[in-house]
Amino acid sequence: MVTLRTFSPWKPIPAAAARLPFDTLRHTPLPGIDPTWSHLVRAKTDDGERTFHVLDTGPALAARGIEPTGTILAVHGNPTWSYLWRGVLAASVERAEHGNAWRVIAPDQLDMGFSERLSHPEPPSADAPSYRRFEQRLTDLDGLMDALDVDVDRPLVTLGHDWGGIISLGWATRQRNAVDAVVSLNTAVDHPTGEPVPPALRAAMAPGLLPGSTVVTDGFLRVTLALAEGGLPKDVYRAYRAPYVSRLGRGGIGGFVADIPALAKHASRTVLEEVSAGLQQWDKPALLIWGPKDPVFQDRYLADLLERIPHADLHRFEGAGHLVAEDRDIAAVLFTWLKDRFTPQEYSQQLSSPAPAAQVMGLGEQLEAMTLSWHKDEPASVDMTATGGPETLTWEQLKSQVDSVAAGLYELGVRRGDRVSLLVQPGNSLTVILYACLRLGAVAVVADAGLGLKGMTRAVRSARPQWIIGALPGLTVARALGWPGTRISVDALSERQSALLGTAASVERLLRSAAGSRLQDVPMPSAADPAAVLFTSGSTGPAKGVLYTHERLGALVALLRQQFDIKPGSSLIAGFAPFALLGPAIGATSVTPDMSVTKPATLTAQAVAEAAAAGKATMFFGSPAALRNVVATAGALKPEQRQALQRIRLVLSAGAPVHPDVLDAVQDIFPQAELHTPYGMTEGLLQADISRKDIHEAMSTSQAGVCVGRPVSGVQFALAPLDELGTPAEQLVDPADAPGVLSELVVSAAHLKAGYDRLWYTDRQSRRDTEKGLLWHRTGDVGHIDADGRLWIQGRLQHVISTPAGPIGPGVVETPVDALDQVARSAAVGVGPAGTQAVVVVVEPVDGANLRVGSSPLAQPQIASAVREASSGVPVSAVLIVDELPTDIRHNSKIERSRLAAWAAAVLAGEKAAL
């Protein structure tokens, strides 16, 4: 806390004393800045000629004979200066050689950075005109751009951050005939006068504290710079402070804070409202780059921007905050976006997917078809998790409840395109609510509790739903953590509970009061409408929202029915939430077993048997972790339970490769079933398929990794071969031309994701295009495709080990090591610099096995020798033992190898490290 009495009282700063000597700029170390970019420019403003300090790459490009594609005008906020844009400036020069040349002009606003200082005859306050106003800052840009030699025949793009964001956007709306696109980092273009200012800013704006915290001391500056993720490097920190080391240079910081037009009577409020309204008419390209951890420009300001510019592209850098330009590489996003928008021949926006494998039926059409046939009185959904025992809905009851809930939600105000977060456990209630949302054309947001509170919060705030439908635990968390959206409970609540949770209605009461006939005037959603945002497991970074349209979900349903010959009347035990939700769409009874959906390994053989008996099940889907526990608990099965399992004709498992030994044990439990391990991901739930028999045949060829079968109908694969450091090639290769070559697998299909939600750059980077004009998805999985067209997975791209002999996927080592008698699971990780990494194998022993040397994590010599002998000829530098390998929460199958690699490196360096 700043103690003001230790500083001199406020004294007026005359203009002459306030002007910084520009000579200090030449002697100030500024890492990342080329001195040739730095210029002083005299420009006419509304109060006379002023001197601006400008960083400009135009002369540097001209000296190299490069004609820029266009110009970027980059405007900083408070209390930063043009130094904020050094990464963009450097990238403009570096990328110029590759045909993506943009001149970047980054001025220091007056009274900021190394631009001219102004007179401040009194402390800055909202009532005294002793500082630069919003209107003046807009006209300052007019004068500056007039003074600079900017090619008006080439594209002009504005870029801004903080208050530079709204200034650049405001200038663009006034100069809409000249500006071709806008880009903004964290900013705000409106603040309702009745809402409080964010706490992080409120203290600095208080009249009694404003001078002391912004000008007399450098408190405001220090607090802002501390917002960088992990802290700024010392030399960068010093560079940001360089123009503001004295109170003589900080007048503009206080003036900027005083000019925040939060109140209706503020002198700059009229200009703010003009800019805000002008953005609603902006019909040119727009890009928003956002750091969600910003304590000042919070997500409500982003939501406001998206309402004003609904066509804007958005990329959220999860984990980044206010200084997103310091936290992340924004230049990569910016220049990729500019290249797509202004050199479209480089990236076609008209890519297509292969034709769907089978005729696509709308999800609602399947319910209609089942209720108009003899199946209407048959079970559609059986919930084994219900409190009072199994609960069954017939097809007719399911459709009736779906229509009733849809009608009720419509009366509440849920409309086509609205986002609805579903905080409901799999079971009958979730099925009804989901299909009601799909009927209305609302977008279901599904982020399961396996992400944990932190991951769930990040996912919900990313998707920004207008509605939340949840059971009591979910709504309690939503209220406590301030998740956005109008809340609706599943069960009817007492008045007191409803008031505490802030709910507007309950699904139970909607079922009692609404009539499905009211849906007659509500049109069905179109094929291209968004249908759902499904969040990934988060096992390879922050969970990503995967956007599906009705057409793409329909294509997935059609493929599942064709691939596994699912006929109406089939019954599916779904030990994996997505398949529980797809059950009714494929015409199968969906049976939810008694298990914790966030912990697949809690599924027991007894629970599967009880579900099979209750739902007369013919199919079972479980994750690899679930299958292992089913095998582990099979010894307790009763004769009648084993009898129920003999009716199962198809067992599916996906989410991670399944070892053949596990499948053999599963086959003993389901003796009449055909076992399949389909390959897919949240971005495309089915890409390839293989049976147990075919796995054994494939594994006999002793190829590296785990075989996941051949592409299913309608799916095409391509390869991006890895170089010596494990980097995939940009040019795709036909699998027939590169059998056995270690590559990233790239896929195209009609049922793939429509995109990543609000992650423009992630989505752009996940796509590949070729001369075929197909839309390709980079899976992030590495492996090879053999001469017989079979896919072999060796792990994830980020887990590739780059050894001196070349890159290897961890699966090359793990698959044979996992087959050792005393090994439950293993993980191969790389330790050391890229290109010279040593292979370390971390082993989880089977229950009861002690494989350590004493209390250390080192493996006993005999197990270390066995691991090295089994490792497919790969030199293993060390073998370590852990009680349990760390896995992601959702699958309990995907090993966190990055975490293991850091731990192994510490252990081998002789450090005490906790896993």
The CA distance from 828 to 810, in Å, is 5
Q: How confident is the model at residue 913 (pLDDT cuts 50, 70, 90)?
A: confident
The CA distance from 755 to 766, in Å, is 9
- Model pLDDT, residue 543: 85
Question: Exposure of 694 by Cβ count < 10 A (0-12 exposed, 13-18 middle, 19+ buried)?
Answer: middle
What pLDDT, in 10s, does the model give residues 808-838? 999 999 989 998 999 999 999 999 999 999 9
- Model pLDDT, residue 21: 45
Quick one: how far is CA 687 from the chain centroid? 22
C-alpha torsion sign, points 719, 724, 729, 733: negative
Highest mean pLDDT among 20-29, 61-70, 783-792: 783-792
The CA distance from 456 to 537, in Å, is 11
Nearest residue to 164 via CA among 80, 86, 76 = 76
Contact 490, 507 (CB under 8 A): yes
CA angle 105, 109, 111 (to 5 degrees): 150
- For residue 721 the two structure tokens come to 């071969």
What pLDDT, in 10s, does the model give residues 75-86? 999 999 999 999
Which is more confidently placed, 98 or 754? Answer: 754
- Model pLDDT, residue 914: 82
Q: How far is CA 66 from CA 101, 206, 684, 750, in A?
A: 8, 50, 43, 42
- For residue 389 the two structure tokens come to 């025992």
Average pLDDT over residues 563-572: 87
List, as one string, the DSSP characters of 332-386.
HHHHHHHHHHH-GGGS-S--B-PPPSS----HHHHHHHHHTSGGGGSEEEEETT-
Asked if domains 4-345 and 365-598 share a fold, the reply is yes
Q: How confident is the model at residue 281 (pLDDT cuts 50, 70, 90)?
A: very high
- For residue 723 the two structure tokens come to 């170089």
Contact 55, 89 (CB under 8 A): yes
Q: What CATH topology corresponds to 4-345?
A: Rossmann fold (3.40.50)
- Model pLDDT, residue 12: 41
* Torsion angles phi and psi, residue 827, rounded to 5: -140, 130
User: Strand 181-184 relative to strand 679-681: parallel, antiparallel, unpaired?
Assistant: unpaired
- Model pLDDT, residue 124: 55
What pLDDT, in 10s, does the model give residues 701-738? 988 888 999 999 999 999 999 999 999 998 899 999 99
Q: How confident is the model at residue 193 (pLDDT cuts 50, 70, 90)?
A: low
The CA distance from 640 to 648, in Å, is 14
Q: How confident is the model at residue 17 (pLDDT cuts 50, 70, 90)?
A: very low
Contact 398, 432 (CB under 8 A): yes
Nearest residue to 598 via CA among 455, 487, 480, 749 = 455
Nearest residue to 543 via CA among 452, 625, 430, 437 = 452
Q: How large a percentage of the chain has pLDDT more than 90?
A: 62
- For residue 795 the two structure tokens come to 């792990």
What pLDDT, in 10s, does the model give residues 484-495? 899 999 999 999
Nearest residue to 614 via CA among 590, 581, 638 = 590
Average pLDDT over residues 590-600: 81
The CA distance from 418 to 840, in Å, is 49
What pLDDT, in 10s, does the model give residues 488-526? 999 999 999 999 999 999 999 999 876 556 788 888 899
Q: Is the pLDDT at 776 greater than 60, yes or no?
A: yes
The total of other beta-carbon atoms located within 10 Å of residue 439's CB is 25
Q: Please provide the distance, in angstroms rounded to a whole number, between the alpha carbons at the two ends of the chain.
A: 37
Contact 420, 443 (CB under 8 A): yes
Q: What CATH topology corresponds to 679-798?
A: Luciferase; domain 3 (2.30.38)
- What is the enclosing helix (H) or strand (E) of 43? strand 38-45
- Model pLDDT, residue 23: 58
- Model pLDDT, residue 123: 56
- Model pLDDT, residue 122: 57
Dihedral angle of Cα 390, 396, 402, 407, to the nearest 10 degrees? -140
Q: Which amino acid is at 534?
A: L
Contact 133, 83 (CB under 8 A): no
Q: Is the pLDDT at 669 greater than 90, yes or no?
A: yes
Min mean pLDDT across 18-22, 94-98, 294-298, 797-801 is at 18-22
Instruction: Sketch the domain layout of the chain as residue ranges.
Output: 4-345, 365-598, 679-798, 801-908
Q: Is the pLDDT at 22 greater than 70, yes or no?
A: no
The mean predicted confidence, pLDDT, of the chain is 88
Dihedral angle of Cα 318, 320, 321, 327, to the nearest 10 degrees? -160
What pLDDT, in 10s, does the model give residues 827-876? 999 999 999 999 999 999 998 899 999 889 999 999 999 999 999 889 99
* 452 Ramachandran zone, left/alpha/beta (phi>0; psi -120 to 50): left
- Model pLDDT, residue 598: 65
Specify the CATH number of the domain 365-598: 3.40.50.12780
Average pLDDT over residues 576-580: 68
- Model pLDDT, residue 275: 93
- pTM of structure: 0.88
- What is the enclosing helix (H) or strand (E) of 73? strand 70-75
* Torsion angles phi and psi, residue 764, rounded to 5: -65, -40
Min mean pLDDT across 65-69, 104-108, 122-126, 643-647 is at 122-126
- For residue 151 the two structure tokens come to 């090619």
- Model pLDDT, residue 539: 63
Pick the CATH number of 801-908 from 3.30.300.30, 3.20.20.20, 3.30.360.10, 3.20.20.70: 3.30.300.30
Min mean pLDDT across 5-14, 314-323, 794-803 is at 5-14
Average pLDDT over residues 752-757: 93
